[in-house]
Amino acid sequence: MHPSITAAYLARYRSVVETAGGSAQLLPLTGAQRRFLLVRRLDPQGRPDVVPLFFAFPRGTVDVPRLRRAATDLARRHPALRGTVASLRGAPVLRLGTPSAEVTEIPVAPGESAEDALRRELLAWAPAGPPLRLLLAAGPDAREELLAVALDHAACDEQSLGIVTAGLSEAYEEDAGAGRETDEGGVAAYREAVERQLAAETAASTAGAHAHWAGRLGRLAGADAGPATAASAPTAAATAAAPAVTGMLSHRLPAASAAARGAVFPALLDAVSAAAQELLGPGRPLALGYPWGGRPAGAPPALGCFLNTLVHPATTGCSDLDDLSAAWWDDLDHADTPFDEVVHAARSAGASWTGALDGLLTFEDLHRRPPLVLGGTPGRETHLAGRPLAAPFAVSASHGEDLLVRLAWDRGRCPEAAAVDAFDALLGTMRRHLGGANGATGATGATQATGATTAGSSSA
Protein backbone atom coordinates (compact mmCIF):
# COMPACT_ATOMS: atom_id res chain seq x y z
CA MET A 1 0.00 0.00 0.00
CA HIS A 2 1.39 3.38 -1.00
CA PRO A 3 1.62 6.15 1.63
CA SER A 4 -1.63 8.08 2.12
CA ILE A 5 -1.95 10.98 -0.31
CA THR A 6 -3.47 13.08 2.47
CA ALA A 7 -0.63 12.25 4.86
CA ALA A 8 1.92 13.10 2.16
CA TYR A 9 0.10 16.35 1.42
CA LEU A 10 0.04 17.31 5.11
CA ALA A 11 3.75 16.62 5.48
CA ARG A 12 4.46 18.82 2.45
CA TYR A 13 2.11 21.55 3.74
CA ARG A 14 3.76 21.60 7.18
CA SER A 15 7.22 21.79 5.62
CA VAL A 16 6.15 24.70 3.43
CA VAL A 17 4.53 26.57 6.33
CA GLU A 18 7.57 26.03 8.53
CA THR A 19 9.83 27.39 5.81
CA ALA A 20 7.49 30.37 5.42
CA GLY A 21 7.88 31.13 9.12
CA GLY A 22 4.72 29.33 10.28
CA SER A 23 2.46 31.89 8.65
CA ALA A 24 -0.94 32.07 10.32
CA GLN A 25 -2.35 33.16 6.97
CA LEU A 26 -1.75 29.74 5.34
CA LEU A 27 -4.28 26.96 5.92
CA PRO A 28 -4.38 23.41 4.52
CA LEU A 29 -7.00 22.24 2.03
CA THR A 30 -9.53 19.49 2.64
CA GLY A 31 -9.82 16.62 0.19
CA ALA A 32 -12.95 18.26 -1.23
CA GLN A 33 -11.06 21.48 -1.87
CA ARG A 34 -8.23 19.56 -3.51
CA ARG A 35 -10.80 17.97 -5.83
CA PHE A 36 -12.08 21.37 -6.90
CA LEU A 37 -8.49 22.40 -7.55
CA LEU A 38 -8.27 19.37 -9.84
CA VAL A 39 -11.52 20.42 -11.59
CA ARG A 40 -10.06 23.87 -12.15
CA ARG A 41 -6.88 22.43 -13.64
CA LEU A 42 -8.85 20.15 -15.98
CA ASP A 43 -10.85 23.10 -17.33
CA PRO A 44 -9.16 24.72 -20.36
CA GLN A 45 -9.88 28.22 -18.99
CA GLY A 46 -9.15 27.32 -15.37
CA ARG A 47 -12.71 28.13 -14.33
CA PRO A 48 -13.79 27.18 -10.80
CA ASP A 49 -16.93 25.18 -10.07
CA VAL A 50 -19.61 27.71 -9.04
CA VAL A 51 -22.63 27.14 -6.79
CA PRO A 52 -25.40 29.74 -7.35
CA LEU A 53 -28.66 30.24 -5.48
CA PHE A 54 -31.33 32.48 -7.03
CA PHE A 55 -33.88 34.56 -5.10
CA ALA A 56 -36.64 36.79 -6.47
CA PHE A 57 -37.59 39.89 -4.44
CA PRO A 58 -40.19 42.58 -5.08
CA ARG A 59 -38.49 45.30 -7.09
CA GLY A 60 -36.78 47.88 -4.89
CA THR A 61 -36.36 45.52 -1.93
CA VAL A 62 -32.60 45.09 -2.14
CA ASP A 63 -30.48 47.98 -0.83
CA VAL A 64 -27.21 47.36 -2.69
CA PRO A 65 -24.83 49.29 -0.35
CA ARG A 66 -26.43 47.58 2.64
CA LEU A 67 -26.10 44.18 0.95
CA ARG A 68 -22.46 44.91 0.10
CA ARG A 69 -21.74 45.72 3.75
CA ALA A 70 -23.52 42.54 4.86
CA ALA A 71 -21.60 40.37 2.39
CA THR A 72 -18.26 41.89 3.43
CA ASP A 73 -19.10 41.38 7.10
CA LEU A 74 -19.97 37.75 6.37
CA ALA A 75 -16.55 37.33 4.70
CA ARG A 76 -14.87 38.80 7.80
CA ARG A 77 -16.42 36.10 9.95
CA HIS A 78 -15.56 33.14 7.72
CA PRO A 79 -12.00 32.36 6.57
CA ALA A 80 -13.26 30.29 3.61
CA LEU A 81 -14.77 33.48 2.16
CA ARG A 82 -11.62 35.58 2.48
CA GLY A 83 -9.15 32.99 1.30
CA THR A 84 -7.77 32.16 -2.11
CA VAL A 85 -6.35 28.82 -3.19
CA ALA A 86 -2.67 29.17 -4.03
CA SER A 87 0.28 26.89 -4.69
CA LEU A 88 3.27 27.48 -2.45
CA ARG A 89 6.34 25.55 -3.59
CA GLY A 90 4.10 22.85 -5.03
CA ALA A 91 1.77 22.56 -2.03
CA PRO A 92 -1.81 23.83 -2.48
CA VAL A 93 -2.85 26.08 0.42
CA LEU A 94 -5.62 28.49 1.37
CA ARG A 95 -4.10 31.94 1.77
CA LEU A 96 -6.16 34.30 3.92
CA GLY A 97 -6.60 37.82 2.65
CA THR A 98 -8.57 41.00 3.19
CA PRO A 99 -12.31 40.34 3.64
CA SER A 100 -14.17 41.20 0.46
CA ALA A 101 -17.23 40.21 -1.51
CA GLU A 102 -18.48 41.28 -4.91
CA VAL A 103 -21.96 42.82 -5.01
CA THR A 104 -22.87 44.05 -8.48
CA GLU A 105 -25.96 45.39 -10.22
CA ILE A 106 -25.91 43.68 -13.61
CA PRO A 107 -27.23 45.82 -16.49
CA VAL A 108 -29.95 44.18 -18.55
CA ALA A 109 -29.37 44.77 -22.26
CA PRO A 110 -32.24 45.51 -24.66
CA GLY A 111 -34.06 42.29 -25.41
CA GLU A 112 -32.57 40.56 -22.37
CA SER A 113 -34.34 39.40 -19.22
CA ALA A 114 -32.86 39.46 -15.72
CA GLU A 115 -32.33 35.71 -16.09
CA ASP A 116 -30.39 36.26 -19.33
CA ALA A 117 -28.17 38.90 -17.69
CA LEU A 118 -27.35 36.73 -14.67
CA ARG A 119 -26.68 33.73 -16.86
CA ARG A 120 -24.27 35.80 -18.96
CA GLU A 121 -22.37 36.95 -15.87
CA LEU A 122 -22.13 33.47 -14.36
CA LEU A 123 -20.82 32.01 -17.61
CA ALA A 124 -18.17 34.74 -17.67
CA TRP A 125 -17.11 34.16 -14.01
CA ALA A 126 -13.48 35.32 -13.72
CA PRO A 127 -11.27 32.92 -11.74
CA ALA A 128 -9.59 35.85 -9.98
CA GLY A 129 -11.87 37.47 -7.44
CA PRO A 130 -13.64 36.81 -4.15
CA PRO A 131 -15.31 33.43 -3.63
CA LEU A 132 -18.63 35.12 -2.67
CA ARG A 133 -20.36 37.18 -5.37
CA LEU A 134 -23.87 38.61 -5.30
CA LEU A 135 -25.38 39.66 -8.63
CA LEU A 136 -28.62 41.66 -8.88
CA ALA A 137 -30.61 42.21 -12.06
CA ALA A 138 -34.07 43.42 -13.04
CA GLY A 139 -35.68 43.89 -16.43
CA PRO A 140 -36.98 47.37 -17.31
CA ASP A 141 -40.62 46.45 -16.74
CA ALA A 142 -40.22 43.58 -14.26
CA ARG A 143 -42.03 43.62 -10.92
CA GLU A 144 -39.30 41.52 -9.36
CA GLU A 145 -35.53 41.76 -9.13
CA LEU A 146 -33.46 38.61 -9.23
CA LEU A 147 -30.53 38.11 -6.87
CA ALA A 148 -27.89 35.44 -7.47
CA VAL A 149 -25.87 34.39 -4.42
CA ALA A 150 -22.93 32.61 -6.05
CA LEU A 151 -19.96 30.93 -4.37
CA ASP A 152 -16.83 29.17 -5.50
CA HIS A 153 -17.57 25.54 -4.59
CA ALA A 154 -14.15 25.26 -2.91
CA ALA A 155 -15.52 27.62 -0.23
CA CYS A 156 -18.86 25.95 0.46
CA ASP A 157 -20.89 22.77 0.52
CA GLU A 158 -24.60 22.09 1.08
CA GLN A 159 -24.39 22.58 4.84
CA SER A 160 -22.55 25.85 4.27
CA LEU A 161 -25.34 27.27 2.13
CA GLY A 162 -27.55 27.55 5.21
CA ILE A 163 -24.77 29.40 7.03
CA VAL A 164 -24.54 31.81 4.08
CA THR A 165 -28.28 32.58 3.82
CA ALA A 166 -28.67 32.93 7.60
CA GLY A 167 -25.48 35.00 7.91
CA LEU A 168 -26.43 37.38 5.10
CA SER A 169 -29.91 37.83 6.58
CA GLU A 170 -28.44 38.61 10.00
CA ALA A 171 -25.69 40.94 8.75
CA TYR A 172 -28.17 42.83 6.54
CA GLU A 173 -30.14 43.78 9.66
CA GLU A 174 -27.12 44.92 11.70
CA ASP A 175 -26.15 48.52 12.26
CA ALA A 176 -23.63 49.95 9.81
CA GLY A 177 -20.87 49.99 12.43
CA ALA A 178 -21.36 46.43 13.65
CA GLY A 179 -19.24 43.41 12.79
CA ARG A 180 -16.30 45.39 11.44
CA GLU A 181 -13.52 43.44 13.16
CA THR A 182 -12.20 40.30 11.53
CA ASP A 183 -13.19 37.26 13.60
CA GLU A 184 -9.88 35.64 14.51
CA GLY A 185 -11.80 33.09 16.58
CA GLY A 186 -13.37 32.06 13.30
CA VAL A 187 -9.90 31.28 11.92
CA ALA A 188 -9.19 28.98 14.87
CA ALA A 189 -12.54 27.24 14.46
CA TYR A 190 -12.02 26.82 10.73
CA ARG A 191 -8.50 25.46 11.23
CA GLU A 192 -9.83 22.96 13.78
CA ALA A 193 -12.58 21.80 11.42
CA VAL A 194 -10.12 21.35 8.54
CA GLU A 195 -7.59 19.50 10.71
CA ARG A 196 -10.29 17.13 11.96
CA GLN A 197 -11.40 16.56 8.38
CA LEU A 198 -7.87 15.79 7.25
CA ALA A 199 -7.42 13.39 10.17
CA ALA A 200 -10.59 11.57 9.09
CA GLU A 201 -9.34 11.42 5.49
CA THR A 202 -5.98 10.04 6.57
CA ALA A 203 -7.65 7.38 8.71
CA ALA A 204 -9.88 6.42 5.75
CA SER A 205 -6.94 6.01 3.34
CA THR A 206 -6.41 2.34 4.13
CA ALA A 207 -5.48 -0.70 2.09
CA GLY A 208 -9.08 -1.89 2.45
CA ALA A 209 -10.46 1.39 1.11
CA HIS A 210 -7.96 1.30 -1.76
CA ALA A 211 -9.08 -2.23 -2.66
CA HIS A 212 -12.75 -1.27 -2.43
CA TRP A 213 -12.48 1.67 -4.80
CA ALA A 214 -10.14 -0.20 -7.15
CA GLY A 215 -12.79 -2.90 -7.46
CA ARG A 216 -15.64 -0.44 -7.90
CA LEU A 217 -14.00 1.95 -10.35
CA GLY A 218 -11.27 -0.05 -12.06
CA ARG A 219 -13.23 -0.18 -15.33
CA LEU A 220 -13.72 3.58 -15.66
CA ALA A 221 -12.27 5.14 -18.78
CA GLY A 222 -11.49 8.66 -19.87
CA ALA A 223 -14.09 10.67 -21.77
CA ASP A 224 -12.36 9.96 -25.08
CA ALA A 225 -12.68 6.17 -24.70
CA GLY A 226 -15.51 4.05 -26.03
CA PRO A 227 -17.87 5.03 -28.84
CA ALA A 228 -16.95 8.27 -30.61
CA THR A 229 -20.06 10.34 -29.96
CA ALA A 230 -20.65 14.06 -29.81
CA ALA A 231 -21.04 13.70 -26.06
CA SER A 232 -17.95 11.62 -25.39
CA ALA A 233 -15.54 13.25 -27.84
CA PRO A 234 -16.01 17.03 -28.11
CA THR A 235 -13.86 18.79 -30.66
CA ALA A 236 -10.77 20.69 -29.54
CA ALA A 237 -12.39 23.92 -30.75
CA ALA A 238 -15.50 23.29 -28.66
CA THR A 239 -13.39 22.45 -25.61
CA ALA A 240 -11.34 25.63 -25.87
CA ALA A 241 -14.36 27.86 -26.46
CA ALA A 242 -16.36 29.66 -23.82
CA PRO A 243 -18.72 27.43 -21.82
CA ALA A 244 -21.81 26.47 -23.78
CA VAL A 245 -25.29 27.48 -22.68
CA THR A 246 -26.98 24.71 -20.74
CA GLY A 247 -30.55 23.52 -21.03
CA MET A 248 -32.79 22.46 -18.18
CA LEU A 249 -35.72 20.04 -17.80
CA SER A 250 -37.67 19.74 -14.58
CA HIS A 251 -40.56 17.81 -13.07
CA ARG A 252 -42.18 17.55 -9.66
CA LEU A 253 -42.86 14.12 -8.20
CA PRO A 254 -44.83 13.55 -5.00
CA ALA A 255 -42.67 13.51 -1.89
CA ALA A 256 -41.66 10.03 -0.78
CA SER A 257 -43.60 8.57 2.10
CA ALA A 258 -41.83 7.99 5.40
CA ALA A 259 -41.37 4.31 4.54
CA ALA A 260 -39.83 5.09 1.15
CA ARG A 261 -37.48 7.93 2.17
CA GLY A 262 -34.53 5.58 2.61
CA ALA A 263 -34.93 4.39 -0.98
CA VAL A 264 -34.97 7.84 -2.59
CA PHE A 265 -31.21 8.29 -2.98
CA PRO A 266 -30.43 4.77 -4.27
CA ALA A 267 -33.34 5.20 -6.70
CA LEU A 268 -31.83 8.50 -7.82
CA LEU A 269 -28.44 6.86 -8.38
CA ASP A 270 -30.03 4.27 -10.64
CA ALA A 271 -32.22 6.83 -12.39
CA VAL A 272 -29.27 9.12 -13.12
CA SER A 273 -27.29 6.11 -14.35
CA ALA A 274 -30.09 5.33 -16.80
CA ALA A 275 -30.15 8.98 -17.90
CA ALA A 276 -26.38 9.00 -18.37
CA GLN A 277 -26.49 6.00 -20.68
CA GLU A 278 -29.16 7.72 -22.79
CA LEU A 279 -27.38 11.07 -22.84
CA LEU A 280 -23.74 10.05 -23.26
CA GLY A 281 -24.17 6.69 -24.95
CA PRO A 282 -23.70 3.10 -23.75
CA GLY A 283 -20.50 1.14 -24.04
CA ARG A 284 -18.45 2.21 -21.03
CA PRO A 285 -19.04 2.74 -17.31
CA LEU A 286 -19.52 6.44 -16.60
CA ALA A 287 -18.23 8.32 -13.55
CA LEU A 288 -21.17 9.83 -11.67
CA GLY A 289 -20.16 12.07 -8.77
CA TYR A 290 -22.29 12.99 -5.77
CA PRO A 291 -21.43 14.88 -2.56
CA TRP A 292 -21.71 13.00 0.71
CA GLY A 293 -20.60 13.29 4.31
CA GLY A 294 -20.55 16.14 6.76
CA ARG A 295 -18.43 17.81 9.39
CA PRO A 296 -16.22 15.42 11.39
CA ALA A 297 -17.44 14.54 14.88
CA GLY A 298 -16.77 17.41 17.28
CA ALA A 299 -15.78 19.87 14.55
CA PRO A 300 -17.05 23.46 14.82
CA PRO A 301 -19.81 24.39 12.32
CA ALA A 302 -17.40 26.36 10.16
CA LEU A 303 -18.36 27.53 6.69
CA GLY A 304 -16.29 25.72 4.09
CA CYS A 305 -16.14 22.65 1.87
CA PHE A 306 -16.10 19.42 3.86
CA LEU A 307 -18.36 17.12 1.84
CA ASN A 308 -16.45 14.50 -0.09
CA THR A 309 -17.41 13.70 -3.68
CA LEU A 310 -18.15 9.99 -4.01
CA VAL A 311 -18.06 8.27 -7.37
CA HIS A 312 -20.70 5.83 -8.61
CA PRO A 313 -19.96 3.72 -11.72
CA ALA A 314 -23.03 4.43 -13.81
CA THR A 315 -24.00 1.50 -16.02
CA THR A 316 -27.37 0.39 -17.39
CA GLY A 317 -30.32 0.58 -15.03
CA CYS A 318 -30.43 -1.85 -12.10
CA SER A 319 -33.57 -3.96 -11.82
CA ASP A 320 -32.97 -4.79 -8.14
CA LEU A 321 -32.87 -1.76 -5.88
CA ASP A 322 -31.79 -3.91 -2.92
CA ASP A 323 -28.58 -4.91 -4.73
CA LEU A 324 -27.85 -1.31 -5.70
CA SER A 325 -28.55 -0.14 -2.14
CA ALA A 326 -26.16 -2.75 -0.73
CA ALA A 327 -23.36 -1.58 -3.07
CA TRP A 328 -24.11 2.04 -2.16
CA TRP A 329 -23.91 1.27 1.56
CA ASP A 330 -20.53 -0.38 0.94
CA ASP A 331 -19.43 2.85 -0.75
CA LEU A 332 -20.61 4.88 2.23
CA ASP A 333 -18.46 2.73 4.51
CA HIS A 334 -15.52 4.26 2.61
CA ALA A 335 -17.00 7.74 2.17
CA ASP A 336 -14.14 9.52 3.95
CA THR A 337 -11.52 8.30 1.46
CA PRO A 338 -10.47 11.54 -0.28
CA PHE A 339 -11.16 11.95 -3.97
CA ASP A 340 -7.51 12.01 -5.06
CA GLU A 341 -6.96 8.72 -3.23
CA VAL A 342 -9.99 7.22 -5.00
CA VAL A 343 -8.65 8.30 -8.41
CA HIS A 344 -5.30 6.70 -7.57
CA ALA A 345 -7.02 3.45 -6.56
CA ALA A 346 -9.01 3.33 -9.81
CA ARG A 347 -5.96 3.99 -11.96
CA SER A 348 -3.90 1.40 -10.10
CA ALA A 349 -6.57 -1.14 -11.10
CA GLY A 350 -6.19 -0.30 -14.79
CA ALA A 351 -8.66 2.56 -15.25
CA SER A 352 -7.66 5.29 -17.70
CA TRP A 353 -9.91 7.70 -15.81
CA THR A 354 -8.44 11.16 -15.16
CA GLY A 355 -10.82 12.09 -12.36
CA ALA A 356 -13.16 14.08 -14.63
CA LEU A 357 -16.82 13.36 -13.90
CA ASP A 358 -19.33 12.47 -16.62
CA GLY A 359 -22.29 13.60 -14.51
CA LEU A 360 -23.21 15.08 -11.14
CA LEU A 361 -26.04 14.33 -8.71
CA THR A 362 -26.98 16.59 -5.82
CA PHE A 363 -29.76 15.98 -3.31
CA GLU A 364 -30.97 18.62 -0.87
CA ASP A 365 -33.41 18.52 2.02
CA LEU A 366 -35.11 21.92 1.74
CA HIS A 367 -36.09 21.89 5.41
CA ARG A 368 -32.44 22.25 6.44
CA ARG A 369 -31.67 25.64 4.85
CA PRO A 370 -33.09 28.90 6.26
CA PRO A 371 -34.48 31.39 3.71
CA LEU A 372 -32.67 34.56 2.65
CA VAL A 373 -34.49 37.48 4.29
CA LEU A 374 -33.54 41.05 3.38
CA GLY A 375 -35.20 43.92 5.22
CA GLY A 376 -37.91 41.62 6.53
CA THR A 377 -38.75 40.28 3.07
CA PRO A 378 -37.99 36.60 2.37
CA GLY A 379 -36.69 35.89 -1.11
CA ARG A 380 -38.59 33.42 -3.26
CA GLU A 381 -36.08 30.80 -4.35
CA THR A 382 -36.13 29.99 -8.03
CA HIS A 383 -33.96 27.96 -10.41
CA LEU A 384 -32.21 29.24 -13.50
CA ALA A 385 -31.46 27.27 -16.64
CA GLY A 386 -28.22 27.94 -18.46
CA ARG A 387 -25.95 28.00 -15.41
CA PRO A 388 -22.36 26.78 -15.85
CA LEU A 389 -21.80 23.06 -15.32
CA ALA A 390 -18.68 21.22 -14.21
CA ALA A 391 -19.73 18.09 -16.14
CA PRO A 392 -21.65 17.30 -19.35
CA PHE A 393 -24.84 17.01 -17.29
CA ALA A 394 -26.10 17.39 -13.72
CA VAL A 395 -29.20 16.22 -11.90
CA SER A 396 -30.48 18.10 -8.85
CA ALA A 397 -33.19 16.77 -6.57
CA SER A 398 -34.83 18.89 -3.87
CA HIS A 399 -36.99 17.11 -1.30
CA GLY A 400 -39.56 19.29 0.45
CA GLU A 401 -43.32 19.34 0.02
CA ASP A 402 -42.62 17.39 -3.16
CA LEU A 403 -39.59 15.97 -4.96
CA LEU A 404 -38.38 18.46 -7.56
CA VAL A 405 -36.04 16.81 -10.08
CA ARG A 406 -34.03 18.90 -12.56
CA LEU A 407 -31.74 17.78 -15.38
CA ALA A 408 -29.29 20.33 -16.77
CA TRP A 409 -27.02 19.56 -19.70
CA ASP A 410 -24.30 21.21 -21.73
CA ARG A 411 -25.77 21.96 -25.16
CA GLY A 412 -22.31 21.98 -26.69
CA ARG A 413 -21.85 18.31 -25.81
CA CYS A 414 -25.33 16.79 -25.65
CA PRO A 415 -28.16 17.27 -28.18
CA GLU A 416 -31.57 18.28 -26.87
CA ALA A 417 -33.32 15.16 -28.21
CA ALA A 418 -30.96 12.98 -26.19
CA ALA A 419 -31.63 15.10 -23.08
CA VAL A 420 -35.39 14.61 -23.45
CA ASP A 421 -34.88 10.84 -23.79
CA ALA A 422 -32.53 10.88 -20.80
CA PHE A 423 -35.04 12.73 -18.63
CA ASP A 424 -37.75 10.30 -19.68
CA ALA A 425 -35.49 7.41 -18.63
CA LEU A 426 -34.69 9.14 -15.33
CA LEU A 427 -38.31 9.72 -14.34
CA GLY A 428 -39.37 6.28 -15.55
CA THR A 429 -36.71 4.66 -13.37
CA MET A 430 -37.73 6.74 -10.35
CA ARG A 431 -41.36 5.69 -10.75
CA ARG A 432 -40.40 2.05 -11.18
CA HIS A 433 -38.40 2.03 -7.95
CA LEU A 434 -40.62 4.24 -5.79
CA GLY A 435 -43.99 2.98 -6.97
CA GLY A 436 -46.97 4.24 -8.90
CA ALA A 437 -47.76 6.81 -6.23
CA ASN A 438 -45.18 9.08 -7.85
CA GLY A 439 -47.45 9.75 -10.78
CA ALA A 440 -48.16 8.22 -14.15
CA THR A 441 -47.51 11.09 -16.54
CA GLY A 442 -44.85 10.29 -19.13
CA ALA A 443 -41.59 12.13 -18.68
CA THR A 444 -41.70 13.74 -22.11
CA GLY A 445 -45.14 15.16 -21.44
CA ALA A 446 -44.02 16.45 -18.04
CA THR A 447 -40.97 18.05 -19.62
CA GLN A 448 -43.07 19.91 -22.16
CA ALA A 449 -45.31 21.12 -19.34
CA THR A 450 -42.40 22.80 -17.58
CA GLY A 451 -41.62 24.95 -20.63
CA ALA A 452 -37.95 24.34 -19.88
CA THR A 453 -36.81 22.67 -23.06
CA THR A 454 -35.21 25.82 -24.44
CA ALA A 455 -32.15 27.61 -23.13
CA GLY A 456 -32.93 30.64 -21.08
CA SER A 457 -36.04 29.30 -19.41
CA SER A 458 -36.28 28.75 -15.70
CA SER A 459 -38.28 26.50 -13.47
CA ALA A 460 -39.52 27.29 -10.03
For residues 76 and 298, what is the distance between their CA atoms, to the nearest angstrom?
Answer: 23
More confident residue, 165 or 244: 165
For residues 405 and 438, what is the distance between their CA atoms, to the nearest angstrom?
Answer: 12
For residues 65 and 386, what is the distance between their CA atoms, to the nearest angstrom?
Answer: 28
pLDDT of residue 240 exceeding 50, the answer is no
Q: Residue 207 — pLDDT band, cuts 50, 70, 90? A: very high
Q: Residue 459 — pLDDT band, cuts 50, 70, 90? A: very low
What integer pLDDT is reported at residue 178 of this predicted model? 58
Among candidates 97, 93, 98, 99, which has minimal Cα distance to 27? 93
pLDDT of residue 295 exceeding 80, the answer is yes
What integer pLDDT is reported at residue 149 of this predicted model? 97
What does the pLDDT look like over 405-424, one tens digit per residue? 999 999 888 899 999 999 99
The gap between the terminal CA atoms of the chain, to the nearest Å, is: 49
| Chain region(s) in the chain for CATH 3.30.559.10 | 5-199
Q: Which of 173-182, 185-194, 228-237 has the highest mean pLDDT?
A: 185-194
Among candidates 95, 101, 100, which has minimal Cα distance to 187? 95
Q: Torsion-angle region of residue 204: left (phi > 0), alpha (psi -120 to 50) or beta?
A: alpha
| Chain region(s) in the chain for CATH 3.30.559.30 | 206-459
CATH number given to 5-199: 3.30.559.10
Phi, psi for residue 102 in degrees, rounded to 5: -95, 125
What does the pLDDT look like over 78-121, one tens digit per residue? 999 999 888 888 889 999 999 999 999 999 999 999 999 999 99
- Look up the pTM and report it: 0.82
State the average pLDDT over residues 366-370: 76
What does the pLDDT look like over 375-403, one tens digit per residue? 999 999 998 877 778 889 999 998 878 88
CATH number given to 206-459: 3.30.559.30
Q: Where does residue 175 rank: exposed (0-12), middle (13-18), buried (19+ CB within 10 A)?
A: exposed
- Cβ-contact 178, 14 below 8 angstroms: no
More confident residue, 269 or 127: 269
Give the DSSP letter of residue 205: -
